[in-house]
Structure 1
Amino acid sequence: MAKNKDGNNSKNIKNNKSKSVMLSKLEEFKAFINQCKRVMMITRRPSRDEFLMVSKVTGLGICLLGALGFAIHAPMMYLKAMLKP
C-alpha cells in the first residue's frame, strides 16, 4: 500500500474523505429538515375563498393546456391522414 509523508496509508485517507463527505451530506439533510420545519410552522390552512380561487385558477390552467394540446394534435392527425396514400 502507498504511504504518504505522515506514514498513513492511502486507504485511511480515502476512508477519512468518505466519512467527511457523509458528514457533510448529513449536515445538509439536517439543514433541509430544519428548513422544512420552519416552513411548516408558518403555514396555515387556506380560507374557503382562497381554496376556491386556487382551484378555479388551476382548473382554468388545465383546460387551457388541454385546449392547446388539442389544437396542435387535431391538425396533425388530419395532415397525417392526408399525406398517407
Structure 2
Amino acid sequence: MQADKTTVQRLLKTAVGQINGVMKMVDDDRYCIDISNQLQAAVAILQKANREVLHAHMRCCVTEAVESGNPDKKIDELLDLFDRTGK
C-alpha cells in the first residue's frame, strides 16, 4: 500500500471507536436519529480513509502503469471499483 499508513491507521482507529460508541448507543436504546448521525460520521471517516488509499494508488500504481505504456489493467480496476461503489 502506497498511502500514508499513519494517516489511514488513525482514520480507521477513529472509525472503530465511533462504531464501538454506536454499539453502546444501541445497547442503551438511545434515540434513533442520534444513532444514525453517529453512523453517518463513521461512514464519512471510512470514506476519507478510502480516498486516502485511492489517491495514493492513483499517484503511484496508476501513474506507473501509464508510464510503462500498459494502463488498461489499472484503469479497469478503478472502473470496477467505481461501479461497485455507485450501487
Q: TM-score, normalised by structure 1?
A: 0.39
Q: TM-score, normalised by structure 2?
A: 0.38
Q: Which has the higher contact order (CA 8 A, sep 6+)?
A: 2
Q: Return the index of the structure with the highest Cα Rg.
A: 1
